Amino acid sequence: MNSLTKFKKIRAKIIFYSAQLVVGFYPINILLMIATVLLIIAVCYHLVFGYFVATIALAIIVNIIYRETKSINKLRSLRAIADKKNFENYNSENQNLCLICVDDTLDIFQNKLKSYRKLDLKKWGDQLRVTCNYSTFLNFEQALNQQLNQQLNQQLNGNKVNDDTNCIIDGIYFFGHNDFDHITLALLKRISTPFNLLLFDAHADWHTLYPYHIMCGSWVREAFEATHLKTLFHVGGIEGAFDSTDHWWDSAECYGSALKMQNIINQDRIRMLPSNREFNCNSFFDYTSCHNRPLIKNGKFDRNSFDAFLKKEKDKLQKYPLYIAIDKDVLRTQDNIQTWKEGVLSIDELEYVLQGFIKTSKTIVAASICGEYGESSYTSCFHPGNIMEVLTKMLYARNSYKIYSLEQNYQTNLRLINCFKK
């Protein structure tokens, strides 16, 4: 390892842990700073009140850490358990649509649909956007399951779903803005059997910046621990955090992600299908043990290479059912407008890959789609998501558009829905 590589590795570690301390442990670090300042003042001026307030602040910190640690363990331990009676009495219709509304981005889309189910969870929007703590996510998951089970009970003949661990999932779920991509995890946790995951996303979504938060960029990592996920097929990745060590922030994300994800790669549980470049091995990530070939070579979509990949993976795709998660940031702006930095795939290329997986797989459990355009809003400027949004804009990872029409988004949604029709 040369001196430059050593320097980049050390720099990545320093940046990652510094960012985690400043942002990742928010609001614990804020309370810790308050407690520290109060203790210093109390010691210097012999103020009993200062000791008292500092003690309260430290007690709150301990409580937060205890609560979130307990929530993390609960999230990862509660996996869906199959109820054979429920499955026997369940009659699935042809891929029904369900709109999970946590903000206003689906309003235009739903006005053009003829038939769909709707879950009104807008009160959770501000709490979930970009990132939320584990306890909040668990409460949202419970609210989501209650509404889904109420609809499910109407389709069951004679049996009732009363337990969150005895659940069935079916259909195509839209939940609007990709700031809420981590809703996918709540849906995956309802799957009661081992399954494979096909993920279309320009980003890795397996980052580790927030130790006590789950975010739109970390839910994939949690899925390996909290669900029955067997193999991840990641399609359309393009961001530098997959393999870059040149950019200071990308290298920090790459280091943080590799701490947990490299072991999963080594277990042969990940297949990479990047958009237009092969991910490089570096000081943190080693992709040599997994499939890592781009879909686009020399500016052209390589159908032959993709078809050969499906043929090679047919046994694995036939062994377990497939859940499909689509973040439309994988598409170029001509086909879909959204807020995060866009990918390079066209809708034609996405359709080809999607249909290939559908035809090759044993069965499709369900699908979820996000990536609508919408301006974010927060009730507090201190919301962790707002802080993260400011950071991503500084790093040019988040876009701002002057929108005149979202017709291309609507047409893209229709084409994706049609891919699932038998």
164 or 392, which is more confident?
A: 392
Average pLDDT for 373-401: 72
Residue 213 has what pLDDT? 81
Residue 200 has what pLDDT? 97
Residue 303 sits in a domain of what CATH number? Answer: 3.40.800
Answer whether residue 134 is part of any domain: yes
Answer whether residue 17 is part of any domain: no
Answer whether residue 9 is part of any domain: no
3-state secondary structure of 233: strand
d(CA 243, CA 254): 6
Average pLDDT for 125-143: 90
Place of tokens 């393999």: 243
Answer whether residue 145 is part of any domain: yes
Answer whether residue 412 is part of any domain: yes
User: 388 pLDDT band (50/70/90 cuts)?
Assistant: confident
Provide the residue type at 85 as one letter: K
Answer whether residue 54 is part of any domain: no
pLDDT at 161 over 70: no
d(CA 362, CA 213): 34
75 or 315, which is more confident?
A: 315
d(CA 252, CA 284): 10
Residue 159 has what pLDDT? 57
Average pLDDT for 273-297: 91
Among 52-61, 203-212, 392-401, the minimum mean pLDDT is found in 392-401
Q: How far apart are the first and last CA of the chain?
A: 54
Answer whether residue 43 is part of any domain: no
| Whether residue 27 has a cis bond before it, omega within 30° of 0 | yes
Domain region containing 405: 70-419
Query: What's the predicted TM-score (pTM) here?
Result: 0.87
Overall domain count for the chain: 1
Answer whether residue 191 is part of any domain: yes
Residue 349 has what pLDDT? 97
Mean pLDDT of the chain: 82
Q: What is the residue-wise DSSP string for 1-57?
A: --HHHHHHHHHHHHHHHHHIIIIITTTHHHHHHHHHHHHHHHHHHT-HHHHHHHHHH
Pick from 94-103, 155-164, 244-253, 307-316 the range whose average pLDDT is largest: 307-316
